[in-house]
Structure 1
Amino acid sequence: MMKLALVLVLILAGVASGSIEKRLTGSVDCKKNRQYHVQIEGAQGGKSCGGSLLNTRWVITASHCAEQIVKLKLGVNIDVSFLKKVWSSIKGSSKKLEQTITTNQQFTYKDEEGHAHDIMLIKLNEDMSGSLPTIKLPSAECSKPEQGEMVEVGGWGSKKAASTKAKPSKLRCASTKMIACDENDKPDAKYFSDDSTTMCAFEPGVEACYGDGGSAVEYNNVLHGIIVSNPVDKCANRIVMLNICHYRQWIEETMLKN
């Protein structure tokens, strides 16, 4: 009887632990979704974020994810066979999937008053293969999703910045619901935001954690938001995002001019 009780205790402890470990990335394996996902790390450490490949030369992310020399890893959610990886290494093409980006290739949005917003375009050192998956932008006349609509988020951040646990080996995806933002639902204070630039989402058990900032928010299978929640030691259950529709024209113009 005591052995049975011990087993039950262990099972319940495992269940409890699983619920504690729930995060934005804790719902389901993304599998073949989000193959456009880009991993962004500070060259000297201290930063960990996500980004999205828009086309063969440009990545979009949150400004707080860079603004220093960063290392980008592309194709992180693509299942490539071992032999193909070896062949790519021999040909040298695998080097294109890991690039070091300097600040002169990083473009933060600034409004007419010169205020920086927490959204950035990164120009890659060289063109990627056209076969590498990208994410679509919404139409130029788009508007942000209505309250109550479900959006898709993803990532694989740690519970804490100094976590000893390695990030999950596979990208994770979750759905969350659009809600009205509170007055405290904003990007970092160094970045401007208002009702037209910012949007928010909440779903019980779905949280943004360290490393999830900069990742894409999908609605109707296109890019509608960038996660700007930037938790370090505690996950955020109200996810703050920037509204891509507000920046749609700037995105096109920046890529064209640079």
Structure 2
Amino acid sequence: MTPYFVLVLLLSASVVVSGSIEKRIVGSKSCDKDRQYHVQINVVAGGKTCGGALLNTRWLITASHCAEQKVKVQLGLNNDVSFFTKAKSFFKGNSKKHEQEINTNQQFTFKDESGNSHDIMLIKLNEDMSAKLPAIGLPPLGCKRPELKSKVEIGGMGSKKAGAKPESSVRCASTEISECGENDKPASKYHSDESTTMCAFKPGVEACYGDSGSAVEFDGVLHGIIVSDPTDKCANTIVMLDICHYRQWIEDTMKK
């Protein structure tokens, strides 16, 4: 395949993307230059797609139910570089770093002192990403969760239709921290309680199929991971895990 032909294909793909139907997070808008840290996670065996967030050149974070088997991660999907810069990277072979298959021995699910698994996972990449690729910042050790009614930012590439392919660009929306209902919790195989789980609600804003694992931002840093996993309709009350509860574990796991 000649370089000219590849360039034509890439240009054609960009046209298709710009005209794609918007059906991601309900109530969302284009992220523009925000969420350049967003990661898309696909189970290699098929059937499951999620989001995630790049923490640094080697580590990303997501929900445990999004992986726990071999996955392909796609990075730099919303990277703010020109099309020609991306094409140059493609020809140099650097774009291979942006798609990595990760085995389970590089996936780390949080387990509490009783051995219960929580729906939050760190994934170690096979090789470092460029330090120029934006990552999301973490709150300080000892941080506290956002208060009720605090405005938080969510985003993702999920579809409103179960089983559909993820959309081709990242969408962003704002919502508010709210009280959790009795049934607002991660899947039953994962432990959760009031100290680990947060919720957000805003009329017209929903997380859909494929948005699990995506980051929740507050004051410009990571404060939550979406664990809502819709089965029959998009989730209006968005369930997330409180990053502050896991902050020390994140630090220790990445150091080890």
TM-score, L = length of structure 2: 0.88
CA contact (8 A) 1:213 1:230 kept: yes
Query: How many correspondences in the alignment?
Result: 235
Please list the CA deviations of residues 203-256 of structure 1 after superposition, one character each: whole Å capped at 9, or x if unmatched. 001001000000000000000000000113310100000000000000000001
* Shift of residue 95, structure 1, vs aligned partner: 0.3
Tell me which residue corresponds to 2:225.
226
The CA distance in 2 between the partners of 1:22 and 1:85, in whole Å, is 26
Tell me which residue corresponds to 2:162.
161
Tell me which residue corresponds to 2:185.
186
- Structure 2's unaligned 5+ residue stretches are 1-21
The CA distance in 2 between the partners of 1:167 and 1:146, in whole Å, is 32
After TM superposition, list the pairs within 5 Å mapping 1:1-258 onto structure 2.
24-163=25-164, 167-257=166-256
The CA distance in 2 between the partners of 1:60 and 1:22, in whole Å, is 24
* Shift of residue 23, structure 1, vs aligned partner: 5.7
Tell me which residue corresponds to 1:18.
none
CA contact (8 A) 1:160 1:232 kept: no
Tell me which residue corresponds to 1:7.
none
* Shift of residue 22, structure 1, vs aligned partner: 6.9
* Shift of residue 38, structure 1, vs aligned partner: 0.3
- Structure 1's unaligned 5+ residue stretches are 1-20
TM-score, L = length of structure 1: 0.88
Q: Structure 2 vs 1, CA of residues 31 and 25 (structure 1 numbering), >3 Å: closer, same or farther? A: farther
CA contact (8 A) 1:209 1:232 kept: no
After the TM superposition, which segments of 4 or more aligned residues of structure 1 sit over 6 Å from their partners? none
The one-letter amino acid paired with 1:70 is V
The one-letter amino acid paired with 1:172 is R
The CA distance in 2 between the partners of 1:92 and 1:22, in whole Å, is 32
CA contact (8 A) 2:145 2:223 kept: yes
The one-letter amino acid paired with 1:236 is A
The CA distance in 2 between the partners of 1:137 and 1:79, in whole Å, is 21
The CA distance in 2 between the partners of 1:82 and 1:220, in whole Å, is 30
The CA distance in 1 between the partners of 2:233 and 2:207, in whole Å, is 9
CA contact (8 A) 2:58 2:129 kept: yes
Q: Structure 2 vs 1, CA of residues 77 and 132 (structure 1 numbering), >3 Å: closer, same or farther? A: same
Q: Structure 2 vs 1, CA of residues 25 and 94 (structure 1 numbering), >3 Å: closer, same or farther? A: farther
Higher alpha-carbon deviation: 149-158 or 244-253:
149-158
The CA distance in 1 between the partners of 2:62 and 2:41, in whole Å, is 9
SS at match of 1:253: helix
Q: Structure 2 vs 1, CA of residues 22 and 148 (structure 1 numbering), >3 Å: closer, same or farther? A: farther
CA RMSD, aligned part only?
1.4
SS at match of 1:157: coil
Higher alpha-carbon deviation: 195-204 or 228-237:
228-237
SS at match of 1:211: coil
Tell me which residue corresponds to 1:10.
none
